[in-house]
Structure 1
Amino acid sequence: MTEAFTLAHFSDVHLPPVFGAGWPYWNAKRMLGYLNWMRKRRRVHHGTIADKLIADAKALRPDHIAITGDLINLGLPQEYEAALAWLKKVGKPANVTVVPGNHDIYSSLHGDPGVARWADYMGGEDDNLAFPFVRRVGPIALVGLNSAVETPPFYASGKLGRHQLEITGELLDALGEEGAVRVVLIHHPPLPDLAPSRRALSDAAHLAHLLERGNAELVLYGHNHRTRVDWLASRRGPIPVVGIGSASAAIAHGEEPTANYNLFTFFKNENGLRIRHIVRGIDGDVGTVKKISETVLNAPA
């Protein structure tokens, strides 16, 4: 790795619902989700805010953009179409990578392809998807996981499952032998105790154990709508595990900040790999995008 590489990370876009689906789609979960949108979420999540953050990132000319899920809200067919149109504005599939979130795999689709519409952005093609997937972008190997599963009302938990975990371990081992800089993308918080049980990744402990072998240089996630950096001890040294807030939050909500995104620059020096981490987001007072923080992700002493 001789040149710097910049990766922009967004999550939880929550584009406004697009209605028009027939009654078979309107089960209890979608009805409750619709009521939640009308009562609360529509005042928080604005598509124009997400567009403003994307424009800010593109002005900084990142080498690639990663989006860790929840592009939509209710999992209706029209929402997938609208999200695909939005993705095409963000960039070409070669320049943008997506993994699904729990709102993207929300409830029964009655045969509709759902997130398969976004296959070109998820390492697949022609509506064919398989997880985990690997996308090579310069010196970076993006490893996309799918933690989203259908859940009952009032639950937003996730699961990878044994097969996906096994394949992920094999891929990360092989990529490490090649010397790639491995960046894992997942929607749900990937470590235990980062979310309450109804919202957590049920097999987070298994994923953490897999990563403890030193199988990644960076792990990115969303779901909690909060900016956070944790360090996972591994055989090769601590791994930064970084969450980000919603990309569309026009106002702060509880502990959730206004919209922000991560900007990572990877470079190597005499001390090995370094990752400059910048958080940029909405200034709540004037609505402009500004730098919120900047640090270098060195392993803590």
Structure 2
Amino acid sequence: MTATFTLAHFSDVHLPPVSGFTWRYWNAKRLLGYLNWQRKRRHVHFAEVADRLIADAHALRTDHIVITGDLVNLGLPAEHEAALAWLRRVGPPGRVTVIPGNHDIYSHMHGDRGVARWAEYMDAEEETLAFPFVRRIGSLALIGLNSAVETPPFVASGLLGARQIEIAREQLARLGQEGAVRVVLIHHPPLAGMTTSRRSLRDAAHFVHLLEREGAELVIYGHNHTPAVDWLPAREKPVPLVAAASASAGAALGDEPLARYNLFTFFDTPNGLRIRHVVRGLETPEGPVVKLSEDVLEKLD
């Protein structure tokens, strides 16, 4: 890299309201999800909270915004349409990248194009949307994975699949040879044991083997609604794995904090690439968006 670059990472926006709940899309999973939304989640997630955090990222002149899934709640077409309108308010496709989460690909769509509506934010046409995709932004390469698959009631697990993992391996290898700063985007936690089995990435072992072999400069994810920083030993150097909390939480729920987002600044030093990691968000529901923590992502032996 020859200049600093800032990347804002949002996740699990869960944009309200739930809409378009017609009989065509009615099934047990959506019914249970709707009841959960009515009883619990609608008292936590607020679009205006997410908008406050987005405005904060814009005020800091962030170069690019990434959203790692769960823009909606029940994966309904009307929700996908509303999320597209929201994405366009966040920024143009050249400044915003999105990948789907399990709530975006929630249950059977009966032929509806679903998250393909957001294809322009994944550098694709609706007809050619495929994962993983690569977006080059200067020295950065965003590798967008899709871990979201339809699941039965009470299950929110993810799956990449052998083909997606193999293509990602080729992409990471090629981009590494080119000297790109590789940032991997995935919705589900990438390591086994980061969440319960019914919410986990089912082929995490294969994905971890890929990262250990090919490496990456950063992996970012969501799903758990809690911030975290972990490290994965790899062939060349350890890979930082960074989770984002929900970006729309106007009320704390259990271990889930108020709304937060990650801000990464990439810059060169005489010792190589450094990544400054700042967490910004709410200390109180009605308070301003502030810096909550700051560190540098480097693994010291």
Q: TM-score per shorter chain, which class? A: over 0.9
Q: Distance in 2 between matches of 1:64 and 1:285?
A: 26
Q: Is the 8 A contact 2:67 2:99 kept in 1?
A: yes
Unmatched tracts of structure 1, length 5 or more: none
Q: Distance in 1 between matches of 2:24 and 2:16?
A: 21
Q: Partners of 2:127 and 2:21 in 1: how far apart? A: 21
- Matched residue, 2:27: 27
TM-score (norm 2): 0.98
Q: What's the CA shift string for 1:66-108, capped at 9, x where partnerless?
A: 0000000011110000000000000000110001000000001
Report SS of the residue matched to 1:36.
helix
Deviations 1:159-200 (A, max 9, x none): 000000000000000000000000000000011111110000
Deviation at 1:235, TM superposition (A): 1.1
Does the C-alpha gap of structure 1 residues 286 and 78 become closer, same or farther in structure 2, counting only changes over 3 Å? Answer: closer
Alignment of 1:13-92 (within 5 A): 13-92=13-92
C-alpha separation in 2, matches of 1:83 and 1:128: 20
CA contact (8 A) 1:18 1:82 kept: no
Residue of structure 2 equivalent to 1:98: 98
Matches within 5 A, 1:148-159: 148-159=148-159
Amino acid at match of 2:154: F
2:149 counterpart of 1:142:
no
In 2, Cα distance between equivalents of 1:285 and 1:155: 30
For residue 207 of structure 2, what is the aligned residue in structure 1? 207
Distance 1:18 1:153 in 2: 18
Indicate if the aligned counterparts of 1:172 and 1:182 stay in contact, CA closer than 8 A. Answer: yes
- Aligned equivalents of 2:117, 2:18: Cα separation in 1: 16
Mapped to 1, the partners of 2:195 and 2:20 lie a distance apart of 33
Confirm or deny: 8 A CA contact 1:101 1:187 kept in the other structure.
Answer: yes
Instruction: Tell me if the contact between 2:11 and 2:69 (Cα under 8 Å) persists in the aligned partners.
Output: yes
TM-fit CA distance, 1:214: 4.0
Question: Counterparts of 1:1-301 in structure 2 under 5 Å?
Answer: 1-284=1-284, 286-301=286-301
Partner-residue secondary structure (3-state), 1:130: coil
**Structure 1 position 287, deviation (Å):** 2.3
What is the identity, as a one-letter code, of the residue corresponding to 2:123? G
Give the secondary-structure state (helix, strand or coil) at the position aligned to 1:175. helix
Q: Give the alignment's Cα RMSD to 1 decimal.
A: 1.0
| Contact kept in structure 2, 1:21 and 1:77, CA below 8 Å | no
Give the structure-1-normalised TM-score.
0.98
| 1:170 partner letter | E
Q: Which runs of 5+ in 2 are unaligned?
A: none
Q: In 2, distance between residues paired with 1:186 and 1:285?
A: 28
Matched residue SS, 1:94: coil
Measure, in 2, the Cα distance between the counterparts of 1:300 and 1:193: 24
Q: Look up the SS of the partner of 1:148 in the other structure.
A: coil
Tell me by how many angstroms 1:286 deviates. 4.0
CA distance in 1, matches of 2:132, 2:106: 19
Q: Displacement, 1:128?
A: 2.7
| Letter paired with 2:72 | I
Q: Structure 1 residues 119-128 or 70-79, which shifts more?
A: 119-128
Q: Secondary structure at the match of 1:268?
A: strand
Contact 1:169 1:215 in 2 (8 A): no
Paired with 1:127 and 1:52, the residues of 2 have a C-alpha distance of 34
| Cα pair 1:118 1:127 within 8 Å, conserved | no
